[in-house]
Structure 1
């Protein structure tokens, strides 16, 4: 593997960690925040929903901006905004203030969700792009494995605001990486002029592309299943199963392990069998593991080890689904890669926000809500794949 390839993967991975880090690191603190502010658990979950709404919608603006102004300037804007919002979260006097600052955080974090995908597309396509995407995923995987544990360790002596100060410090490091280590990958000659008509034309092309829409939504259902887990895991693991915040962090890291390990095989599997075939079998495996988890729970088997093992297996299949669908959705859209990545990211974040809202509203304290939500996401993903395959075959025939 070339040194430049590894360097790019490390930089983009660290930048892409900013958003997940802001989510994963404070998960163990959610029960404590609800208690400190004297609000119900559901109120603290609005801090996730507000973040994801902004995180999703604002990618629609960063993507075209990255196509118009280059990749680095929108990254600077987003991360500086994220930095100040993180400090605002740490100083929040009320839960309403925290929800508002989390929204602003999401506005800033959206920049490092879509633009790194466009940077990958600037440099690579096909198998090489998948390999870089999965290497970036390797770096991102550090966040769900280590961030909750780091958050719980900080929270014990310094309280939950320290989590947001740590996120602010990580943002400063990201800004330094962009300034001194990340090259501009979109030359001025290739930039799209600032025209609303051009942006809407690009959206029109993408909405009409069955492969882009199908692969984006398939990956989005994988995201929705994970966000469903994020929204209630801390309460389920600590209140229902009796885990401490540190034990929750370790269990959360184990859930991420399957995704992390499997994602490293995605590029080689795509090279050997093709991306569409990899998505087919990975979606099948994800949906079956999720369905089995639901059936066992309905049969009265409520065992923490069984729950975690089946979540581990389901997440392993998602480790193949997510990076492969990202690459397949962007492959045919090089000239508008920033806009395509932004639209795809927005759609996926919106699916995640909807999943959080539904799961939070119906959560009864037991694992049934979680396994039912993930099984539903798996079933929809399988259905979407069949529809996408049929539409793509029809398009090729005509």
Structure 2
């Protein structure tokens, strides 16, 4: 159930993806404007998570989730009748804002009950379900658009939202009981962000999944035009390539779920971040030299995108480790940075020409910044860095004026066995 919820934003993006060239043609707009219907969804999701996260700490997990998905249904139906590209972009921003509730709550529910390696393992398992979105959603979206045109994709998204509302209403328990909620209302609901913004290690770790998502979304917004227009693939062939790349992310996430039993999340990050940078540098070589043609480019992207499964879950777990008492706000900040960075960066693919070289260049830049953030803004590569990052020494004092007492908050990893 949590995997299905966390996958809703990805499904919203990926089902619509094969229709991008058709949307640009039918609405008489540019490639960059059509791509912004994707980026706008991410920007809306960034803002939505920042709003929904604190309210899930205040009112529990179920209510914000049910409201958010219900409004996603309404906006999806409005997207199906959008008269022009401007209206569609605006509605896609709202769609991202409201379905952000699904991703925030799914991660917060895990942090409500688990910490450390257990949380990393569960987040990696969550990636298995999220990874089904790129495997299945483009193919389903292409089939729906092929029969009923691209507007029918949004009707399908509304139906998916309806099914999720019914599942949550019937089966999802409330994992944040009243005695553990942040009870003050008004501006203090957002006070937790002040604490998070003062923690530079938290911000650095939260920024890393954002850069990873920027890599993925740069591929997502550029690949329909690269593979279909530049390399001549049919929509069906492109959907197959997209599914294979999605399988790479699923496989790496499951590898990570096994690795966290043998090595700490920080040690895994120290290896995988420079590896993804090295792999990304191969992409322009393949494009310029033409080695392997479309298969060479697809293979290079498979390797780069697959590394994301070894990065995002580990960075997220380390960042959340000291904020169990405000898991909704912390998860919202991580999610907002994730989709916000991706939403700002991914349009650069279209700005720089939308070709394979432009896509490769943006991906390289994201991987390089990711490595610099981990190396400079965290102690990951310093002596004793893993222990410092994952222990309490690197964390600031919580905002005790607005936090539950020790008996009411979730246990830390060190406290769990004794309690």
4+ residue runs over 3 A deviation: 194-201, 295-302, 391-398
1:142 paired residue among 132, 142, 147: 132
- Aligned equivalent of 2:306, options 280, 300, 316: 316
Identify the range of structure 1 (59-68 vs 354-363) with the bigger mean alpha-carbon deviation: 354-363
Cα distance in structure 2, aligned partners of 1:197 and 1:80: 26
**Which deviates the most, 314-323 or 206-215?**
206-215
Q: Do structure 1's residue 368 and structure 2's residue 357 form an aligned pair?
A: yes
Q: CA RMSD in A?
A: 1.8
1:233 equivalent in structure 2: 223
Contact preservation (8 Å) 2:219, 2:359: yes
Pick the aligned partner of 2:17 from 14, 27, 35: 27
Q: Is the 8 A contact 2:54 2:190 kept in 1?
A: no
Q: In the TM superposition, what is the alpha-carbon distance from 1:383 to its structure 2 partner?
A: 1.0
Corresponding residue of 1:272:
262
Deviates more, 1:72-81 or 1:287-296: 287-296
Q: Is the 8 A contact 2:108 2:331 kept in 1?
A: yes
Judged with a 3 Å threshold, the aligned counterparts in structure 2 of structure 1 residues 279 and 182 are, in CA distance, closer, same or farther, namely same
Cross-structure match for 1:151: 141
Aligned residues: 387
Alignment of 1:203-282 (within 5 A): 203-282=193-272
- Aligned counterpart for 1:174 among listed residues 148, 164, 182: 164
**Greater fraction of residues in helix:** 1
Counterpart in the other structure of 1:8: none
Deviations 1:40-67 (A, max 9, x none): 2222112112211111111111000000
Does 2:171 match 1:201?
no
Give matches, 1:18-57, under 5 Å: 18-57=8-47
User: 1:155-199, CA deviations, whole angstroms, 9 ceiling, x for partnerless residues?
Assistant: 111111111111111101110111111110000011102434534
Query: What 5-or-longer segments of structure 2 have no aligned partner?
Result: 396-419
Could you tell me how far apart the structure 2 residues matched to 1:241 and 1:214 are? 37
Task: Show the counterpart of 1:306.
Answer: 296
Assess if the C-alpha contact under 8 Å between 1:294 and 1:375 holds in 2: no
**Residue 107 of structure 1: CA displacement?**
1.5
| TM-score (normalizing by structure 1) | 0.93
Q: Which segments of 5 or more consecutive residues in structure 1 lack a partner in the other structure?
A: 1-10
Question: What TM-score results when the alignment is normalised by the length of structure 2?
Answer: 0.88
- For 2:58, the equivalent position in structure 1 comes to 68
